[in-house]
């Protein structure tokens, strides 16, 4: 009898003691049972309160802020897409289903395996060439369709760049956790076990499978792959995918004829030329009369499409510099750094006649850097004197403070003339387009603590980041 729960013990204790007199019973009830009941409920409420406070703190720390949007987007064919705001980005909730470019031109629907394998133009298909799969998962597109300058996403939207995907993944806790937050819950579409899927982001990823470059269809129910707009080289581009048994996001480069899905993100593309190398979103920062890119350059090709050689080893970097040949690399040869800080280039890549900057932009001259230096130093001094917490501060002052804060987070590190990497996230060095004496060129540095800009000559064999300024 006394092995029951607390509530049941109270009930059975009452039954056991029913033979006592009525008056004694009520006295007993009032003095003992009620006292124990009150204690039980008070203790229970305290435990519940502690639990709610603990889980609330955990959820606030662990889960990002997600806002379901009532905005819907319609493509050129009338397909309707829901949207969700994740952090600072507005994403479509469904994969793209369009069969025309934005200008109305048809995207070829290629079902034949051999024909798909030999394509060098944009094309789409449904998984297993079944229209029902297209309705559920959207269409599979090769990268030639993704990068076509006729644009595959609706007006005001674009195919996400590698940087766009990186922003999303970082906001959702990084590549080791973000996948679970992006996957649809359950196993109605995903194969078991669909590990860690909670879809807290509202991204609602579905496992539509993929099409290999040989035309074969693979792993529906197990994987959700999407293209980025960022080219890796002449034959491949960056993409990412989620899979059933993992909460991770896998990012890699894949051959362009492969068929992956497209998920559009809000914002127009900045397209520099017919070459798809610059078919990526560009955020800008304005200082006085100058407009600068807010992110470092991260391109693999010159403007004519020729690849920029990648030098990973010390010997490759040193030999290229000694011979005056253009090369680039990621800091520490880590591609994941590129999404945040771009690439490092030697000055021979910066000065190559084939061009490095996107159309409408250029690498700043020494004179333009001096203008930036003067403006920034005056703005920083003004902010230090006035402060920006006062609500009466001018809008211009607040904007300067925000822009300067963003601009001074590009601590890329550098690569020495002999190939060593150092000063990652401690200092930022950028090339000017102004050459100096033989073997030397002008570069400018941003001080981590004082937010000052300094200029000076350095060997052209060094590796620095590149910031572009608008023409």
d(CA 105, CA 150): 8
For residue 145, is it within any domain?
Answer: yes
Spatial separation of the C-alpha atoms in residues 97 and 145, rounded to whole Å: 13
Q: 274 — alpha (psi -120 to 50), left (phi > 0) or beta?
A: alpha
Return all residues near 309 (Cβ < 8 A) that are at least 6 apart: 320, 325, 326, 327, 328
pTM of the model: 0.51
Structure confidence at residue 351 (pLDDT): 93
| Helix and strand totals (H; E) in the chain | 13, 23
C-alpha span between 276 and 293 (Å, rounded): 18
Residues 410, 296 contacting (CB under 8 angstroms): yes
Domain containing residue 415: 282-470
256 with 308, same domain: the answer is: no
- Alpha-helical runs (H) found in 172-299: 178-182
Same domain, 72 and 126: yes
Alpha-carbon span 323 to 376, nearest angstrom: 37
Please report, to the nearest 10 degrees, the dihedral formed by the alpha carbons of residues 430, 167, 280, 240 taken in order.
120
Contact indicator for 314, 415 with CB cutoff of 8 Å: no
Q: Please give the structure tokens belonging to residue 306.
A: 């020729």
Q: Please check whether residue 1 lies inside any domain of the structure.
A: no
In this prediction, residue 268 carries a pLDDT of 64
Whether 151 and 227 map to the same domain: the answer is: yes
Nearby residues of 15 by Cβ (< 8 Å), 6 or more positions away: none
Q: Are 280 and 159 a contacting pair, CB within 8 Å?
A: no
Give the ranges where 63-157 is alpha helix by DSSP (H).
113-117, 131-137, 143-146
Greatest Cα pair distance in the chain: 112
Question: Quick one: 209 and 331 in the same domain?
Answer: no
Token match 């309705």: residue? 135
Residue 245 lies in a domain: yes
> What is the structure's pLDDT at 364?
92
Phi/psi of residue 413, nearest 5 degrees: 80, 180
- Cα–Cα distances in angstroms (integers) from residue 365 to residues 285, 287, 452, in the given order: 18, 16, 18
- Tokens matching residue 229: 């707009």
Do the domain assignments include residue 274? no
- What is the C-alpha to C-alpha distance for residues 460 and 321, in angstroms, rounded to an integer? 7
CA gap 127, 111 in Å, rounded? 10
Q: Are strands 80-86 and 66-74 parallel, antiparallel or unpaired?
A: antiparallel
Three-state DSSP state, 317: helix
Number of folded domains that form the chain: 3
Looking at the fold, whether 47 and 82 belong to one and the same domain comes out as no
Dist CA 438 CA 329 (whole Å): 24
Q: How far is CA 9 from CA 30, 140, 204, 233, in A?
A: 16, 63, 48, 74
Quick one: pLDDT at residue 374?
83
pLDDT by residue for the chain (471 residues), tens only, comes to 333 333 323 332 332 333 333 343 333 334 444 455 555 555 555 555 544 443 433 333 344 445 555 679 999 999 999 999 999 889 999 999 999 999 999 999 999 999 999 998 999 999 999 999 999 999 999 999 999 989 999 998 999 998 889 899 999 999 999 999 999 999 999 999 999 999 999 999 999 999 999 999 999 999 999 999 988 877 889 999 999 999 999 998 899 999 999 999 998 654 333 333 444 445 667 777 888 887 788 888 898 888 899 998 999 999 999 999 999 998 888 877 766 778 999 999 999 999 999 888 899 998 998 888 887 777 655 444 444 333 333 444 334 444 454 454 456 788 999 999 987 766 678 899 988 777 898 887 765 455 567 788 999 999 999 988 988
Examine the fold and report which residue of 234, 266, 298 is the final residue of a domain before the chain moves on: 266
Torsion of CA 164, 165, 171, 175, to 10 degrees: -150
One domain, residues 202 and 99: yes
In a domain, 276, yes or no: no
Rounded Cα distance between 463 and 244, Å, is: 40
Q: Please indicate, yes or no, if residue 23 is contained in any of the structural domains.
A: yes
Cα(269)–Cα(273) distance, integer angstroms: 12
In terms of domains, do 73 and 180 share one?
yes
**Residue 173 falls within a domain, yes or no?**
yes
Shared domain check, 435 and 337: yes
In whole angstroms, give the CA distance from residue 209 to residue 126. Answer: 10
Identify whether residues 126 and 251 lie together within a single domain: yes
In a domain, 272, yes or no: no
Same domain, 177 and 316: no
What phi and psi, each to the nearest 5 degrees, are found at residue 379? -70, -40
Sheet of 250-255, strand order? 223-231, 236-243, 250-255
- Does residue 417 have a cis peptide bond before it, meaning omega lies within 30 degrees of 0? no
230 and 311 both lie in a single domain: no
Which of 17, 35, 62 lies at the terminal end of a domain, its last residue? 62
Residues 255 and 340 occupy one common structural domain: no
């Amino acid at each position: 009898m006394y092995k029951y729960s607390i509530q049941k013990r109270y009930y059975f204790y009452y039954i056991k003691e029913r033979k006592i007199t009525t008056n004694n019973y009520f006295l007993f009830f009032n003095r003992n049972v009620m006292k124990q009941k009150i204690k039980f409920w008070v203790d229970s409420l305290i435990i519940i309160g502690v639990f709610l406070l603990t889980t609330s703190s955990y959820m606030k720390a662990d889960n990002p802020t997600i806002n379901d949007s009532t905005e819907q987007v319609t493509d050129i064919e009338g397909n309707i897409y829901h949207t969700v705001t994740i952090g600072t980005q507005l994403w479509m909730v469904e994969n793209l289903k369009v069969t025309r470019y934005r200008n109305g031109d048809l995207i070829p629907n290629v079902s034949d395996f051999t024909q798909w394998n030999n394509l060098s133009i944009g094309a789409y298909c449904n998984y297993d060439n079944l229209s029902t799969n297209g309705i559920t998962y959207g269409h599979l597109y090769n990268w030639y369709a993704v990068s076509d300058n006729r644009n595959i996403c609706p007006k005001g939207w674009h195919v996400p760049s590698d940087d766009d995907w990186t922003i999303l993944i970082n906001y959702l806790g990084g590549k080791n956790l973000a996948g679970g937050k992006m996957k649809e819950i359950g196993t109605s579409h995903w194969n078991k076990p669909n590990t860690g899927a909670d879809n807290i982001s509202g991204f609602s990823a579905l496992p539509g499978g993929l099409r290999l470059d040989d035309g074969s269809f693979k792993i529906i129910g197990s994987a959700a792959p999407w293209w980025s707009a960022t080219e890796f080289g002449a034959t491949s581009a960056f993409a990412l995918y989620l899979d059933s048994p993992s909460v991770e996001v896998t990012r890699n480069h894949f051959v362009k004829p492969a068929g992956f899905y497209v998920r559009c993100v809000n914002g127009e593309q900045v397209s520099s030329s017919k070459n798809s190398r610059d078919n990526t979103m560009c955020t800008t920062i304005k200082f006085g009369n100058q407009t600068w890119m807010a992110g470092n350059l991260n391109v693999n090709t010159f403007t004519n499409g020729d690849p920029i050689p990648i030098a990973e080893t010390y010997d490759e970097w040193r030999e290229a510099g000694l011979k005056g040949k253009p090369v680039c690399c990621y800091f520490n040869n880590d591609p994941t750094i590129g999404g945040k800080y771009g690439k490092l280039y030697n000055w021979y890549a910066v000065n190559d006649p084939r061009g490095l900057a996107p159309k409408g932009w250029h690498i700043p001259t020494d004179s333009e850097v001096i203008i930036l230096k003067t403006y920034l130093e005056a703005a920083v001094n003004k902010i230090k004197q006035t402060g920006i917490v006062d609500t009466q501060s001018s809008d211009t002052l607040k904007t300067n403070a925000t822009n300067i804060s963003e601009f001074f987070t590009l601590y890329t590190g550098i690569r020495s003339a002999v190939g060593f990497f150092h000063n990652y996230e401690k200092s930022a060095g950028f090339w000017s387009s102004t050459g100096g004496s033989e073997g030397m060129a002008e570069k400018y540095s941003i001080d981590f603590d004082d937010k000052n800009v300094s200029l000076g000559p350095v060997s052209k064999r060094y590796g620095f980041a590149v910031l572009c300024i608008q023409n």
